[in-house]
Amino acid sequence: MNDAKLQLSGQIALVTGSNRGIGRQISRSLAQAGATVILTARELVSLSDLEKEIRRDGGKCFRAALDVLDKRQIKEVIDGIISAHGKVDLLVNNAGVANGGSLLWEQDVDEWWAVQEVNVRGAFLCSHACLNYMTKARSGRIINVGSLAGNASNPLASAYSVSKAALNVLGSNIAAATRDYGVSVFTISPGLVATDMTNNAFFADIPKSEWAPIEKCGALVVALASGKADVLSGKFIHASRDNLDDMLANAS
């Protein structure tokens, strides 16, 4: 690795839902930037290929089974990170689910609510556990993977839209609460990227010009993890539409 790839050297980063899509890209980008990445997913075996890829490319990573709705397991994973590394510098709340294609009253109530459980409660539980360490250390960052869907009405995907709106507000509340504790919190939108979640008829008619390179969200996470944008804590940042340097200039 050259110096440019060591900007996060020494950082310990926990990424939920690392096994595919956006979480996989974020994990790769963090490792390429020098962070030691704790790869997590519900099924440990699903992380094997990513672990091999990162280590093959000279990065540092470990993997752990993690269900973001299992409080006991969350505590065990984070306690394990603290025991092994002495700290957790970054939490990326990426794990999420979606359902769509039908109107709210046509959906099963429990299936609709299950999206809130994973996307909001999961992020809350992981943040809650990490903040116990971050606030005491007076250092740390949390990045929530949100969506522009949380800023608009989506009649055929109301569960996902509502969950992402809640995640954004959760992030801004945590940012306000931790301002005096040295912790920065951001919610990002990767844009519309090609993943398993978007590989369905719901997105079939969207023109190619509207799709974003998945690498941009990884680059944004690395930039935020570096600390250069801590003054923007609490903000919602779009990986493709927002220019981080412009936002920093306007904030100063």
CB 105 within 8 A of CB 50: no
Has 160 been annotated as catalytic? yes
Catalytic residue among 160, 224, 232, 236: 160
What DSSP string describes the chain?
Answer: --GGGGTTTT-EEEETTTTSHHHHHHHHHHHHTT-EEEEEESSGGGGHHHHHHHHHTT-EEEEEE--TT-HHHHHHHHHHHHHHHS---EEEE-------SS-GGGS-HHHHHHHHIIIIIHHHHHHHHHHHHHHHHT-EEEEEE--GGGGS--GGGHHHHHHHHHHHHHHHHHHHHHGGGTEEEEEEE--B--STTT-SGGGTTS-GGGB--THHHHHHHHHHHTTTTGGGTT-EEETTT--HHHHHHHH-
What is d(CA 29, CA 175) in angstroms, rounded to the nearest whole number? 24
What is d(CA 17, CA 192) in angstroms, rounded to the nearest whole number? 18
What is d(CA 242, CA 189) in angstroms, rounded to the nearest whole number? 10
Which residues are catalytic, by number?
160
